[in-house]
Structure 1
Amino acid sequence: MKQLLRQGRLFALAPPLYALLLGLGLMSLAWNLVAMLLHPLLPPDTGRQLGRRVIAGAYRLFWAVASATRMMRIDARCLDALRDEPGLILAANHPTMLDALLLVARLPRSACIMKAGLMKNVFLGAGARLAHYIRNDSAHTMVRLAVQNLRRGGQLVIFPEGTRTVTPPLNAFRPGVTLIAKLAQAPIQTVFIDTDSPYLGKGWPLWRVPPLPLVFTLRLGQRFAPTQDSAALLVQLEHYFRHSMEQSALDAPPECQTFRAPISS
Structure 2
Amino acid sequence: MELFYIPNFIPGQPTMNLSADESYHARKVLRKRRGDLLRLTDGLGTDITAIIQNDKGQQLELLIQKQEKIAFPPENMIEAALSTIRPNRMDWAVEKLTELGVQTIVPLHCQYTNYRQIKIDHLRKIAISAMKQSGQFYLPEIKSAVSMEEWLIETSQQPGTKYLAHPILEQSKKIVKSKPDEKFLLTVGPEGGFHPDEVSHALQHGFELLPLGQTILRTETAAVSGVVHLKILKSQLF
Bigger radius of gyration: 2
Higher relative contact order (CA 8 A, sep 6+): 1
Which structure: greater helix fraction? 1
Same fold (TM over 0.5): no
Give the structure with the larger strand fraction: 2
TM-score by length of 2: 0.32
TM-score, normalised with respect to structure 1: 0.30
